[in-house]
Chains A and B, each alone.
Chain A
Amino acid sequence: MKRDRSRLAALLPGLWLAIFFAFPFLLVLKLSLSDSALAMPPYTPQLDWNRGLAGVQDFIAGLDFETYARLTADRLYLDAYVSSLRIAGTATLILLLVGYPIAYGITRCPPRLRQMLVMAVILPFWTSFLIRIYAWIAILKPAGLLNAALGGLGLPPVNLLNSEAAVLLGLVYAYLPFMVLPLYAVLERQDPRLVEAARDLGSSPIRAFWTVTFPLSVPGVAAGALLCFIPMAGEFVVPDLLGGSETLMLGRVIWTEFFANRDWPAASAVAVALLGALVIPILLFERQPGKVIR
């Protein structure tokens, strides 16, 4: 009886994943195995249901890994992967360095102030993401707010727009709540007496932090890092608006293949390969016993 009910409860997320993840993913996977064609839609083979089993057989015979072979042959794609992972990795690191003190600071506040501060962290979401990134253009552009401020202080202007630094800035700004909230959740749950026990047993405040608070917050660090790293690796809007043509990231490669080159199979293959590059290491990490605390 109890097991039946728990199965029923698993059905809903299962159904959700099937409709909105598994099915679209299979479509993309199928596309990535097709060949680009000057047609509408712009790829072959097409599945012809009217021919029955023979149609399905022809369809499957028409699928191949040619597109993937093309990906490995062209340096552009590899460079885009490496640069995407590097930028997302750097941004994740900065997010941790910025987000951890914020989350930790909030947990040290009295409960009422805490709620307000958590609200303040989420508040930017009330404005459209696109508008917030556009606002950064106005700040960073050569005659923008930043340079006006620097000029006012008698400092030389900087040209940040259309650089990797601008992309990092935009990513950190946009993803900060996704880092702060999981960190806050684990830190807020932590029993304050654990730190007292550490202090009582001879630890300075700094040692108590590194031997007790931080190790116990690792699940939050992992959650925040994954929550930020994965979407950032495929991020399109931020590099497109702030990165200029210099910044090579996969989101833009996918966009170019789809819309500029009308090469749907290539765009799909890049997307599938990115998913593989992100999911496989995470699965390996999760499998490793003892890596994740409790």
Chain B
Amino acid sequence: MSVPGDIVRFEGVTKRFGDHTAVDGITLAIREGEFFALLGPSGCGKTTLMRLLAGFETPDEGRILLDGQDIAGLPPHRRPVHMMFQSYALFPHLTVAGNIAYGLRGLPKAEAADRVAEMLALVKLERLAARKPHQLSGGQQQRVALARALAPRPRILLLDEPLGALDRKLREETQGELVALQRRLGLTFVVVTHDQDEALAMADRLAVMQAGHVAQIGAPREVYERPATRAVAEFLGEVNVLAHPDGGWVAVRPETVVLGESGLEGCVQETAYFGDRTRYVVATVQGPIRASRANVAGEAPLPVGANVRVSWPPDAPRLPA
């Protein structure tokens, strides 16, 4: 049943809304202390799966085990699972300190005050303790939400699109901070995101979800380099799906495509310069093939119209037909 090291197990969990099956018989284990990502396009069921774990939804079928106990029927306030909400859902009538203290009602006053101070220090917001949420920047609000969810010391922290409301530069910084924080606390983080870069950069393991099912689960490299299905390959970044000489298809990532002296004949159709690399579309008899190549200082990228030969690693992953 419960494998040691697993903190959460979904066992054949199904959730329907009317005649729409949001989560369709999912079995999935999350390990203690890992940074786990639920990744997929909108409507794939990742949010429902998270809400099932938080207790906002109850499964129609199946069991949800937390530390070996079935929690499927437990209301959210009885679960040691806390959530950082998408766009934070901070209480507008409470101060930063009041928001963080909200989940600490069970503690003696002095202890709760210490915990609030500890959390404020953790997210570096000591100076803003008396502010109201609307007086904070987006990044500061995100940190209050994080501190509020961490304050009662949950067994698992759920993060619903934690970086979705931040601008790009802040998002990259915060990604690193979240990972560092998770390592430091040794806490199990479960993040829901539709952003594959985010999931790849942060997660120890990720589950790619599609139409209520888990399409593939594994470490980021495994899932990226060895996608189990064409849909997973296409969802996780760019991919060329090319015919294999023995029949069937292979998934070839643009950065593994070699533009050089051997292979398929082609002609550069489009180029896009990104500073650190250049992306190409090369017309071949197999159709357009996308390639991405690191730029080398002092060396000009290939021009449009250049004739090149295109090849890719022989061990590129096979896809089911």
CB-defined contacts of B106 to chain A, threshold 8 Å: 202
Chain A residues lying within 8 Å of B152, measured Cβ to Cβ, are 201-202
Interface residues of A in 264-294 (CB under 8 A from B): 293-294
Asked whether, in the complex, the Cβ of B91 is within 8 Å of the Cβ of A196, the reply is: no
A197 lies within 8 A of B92 (CB): no
- Interchain nearest-CB distance for B233 vs A (Å): 34
The docked-state distance in angstroms from the alpha carbon of A211 to that of B92 is: 12
The residues in A between 160 and 206 inclusive whose CB is less than 8 angstroms from any CB of B are 191, 193-194, 196-204
A197 near B85: Cβ-Cβ < 8 Å: yes
Which of the four size classes fits the interface of chain A?
Answer: 10 to 19
CA distance A238 to B293 in the complex (A): 84
Asked if B277 is at the interface (CB within 8 A of a chain A CB), the reply is no
Cβ of A215 under 8 Å from chain B = yes
Report yes or no: A202 in contact with B105, Cβ–Cβ below 8 A: yes
Residue numbers in B under 8 Å from A193 (CB-CB): 85-86, 89
Listed by A's residue number, 16 A-B pairs whose Cβ atoms lie within 8 Å are A193-B85, A193-B86, A196-B76, A197-B83, A197-B85, A197-B90, A197-B91, A198-B91, A199-B55, A200-B83, A200-B149, A201-B77, A201-B148, A204-B77, A207-B105, A216-B93
Closest-CB distance, A188 to chain B (whole angstroms): 16
| Min C-beta distance of B203 to chain A, whole Å | 22
Give the residue of A211, A216, A293, A294 whose beta carbon is less than 8 angstroms from that of B102.
Answer: A211
* In contact, A201 and B75 (Cβ under 8 angstroms): no
A245 to B149, CA, bound (A): 62
B273 CB-CB contact with A under 8 Å: no
A residues less than 8 Å from B317 (CB atoms): none
Which has the most chain A C-beta neighbours within 10 Å: B55, B76, B86?
A: B76
CA of A116 to CA of B166, assembled, Å:
39
- Chain B CB within 8 A of A28 CB: no
Instruction: Name the residue on B nearest A190 (C-beta).
Output: B92
CA distance A291 to B33 in the complex (A): 45
- With A196-B56, A198-B102, A202-B106 already in contact, the answer to whether A215 and B93 are too (CB < 8 A) is yes
Interfacial chain B residues near A215, Cβ < 8 Å: 93
Separation of A202 and B81 alpha carbons in the complex (Å)? 10
Q: Which of B54, B91, B105 contacts A200 (CB 8 A)?
A: B54
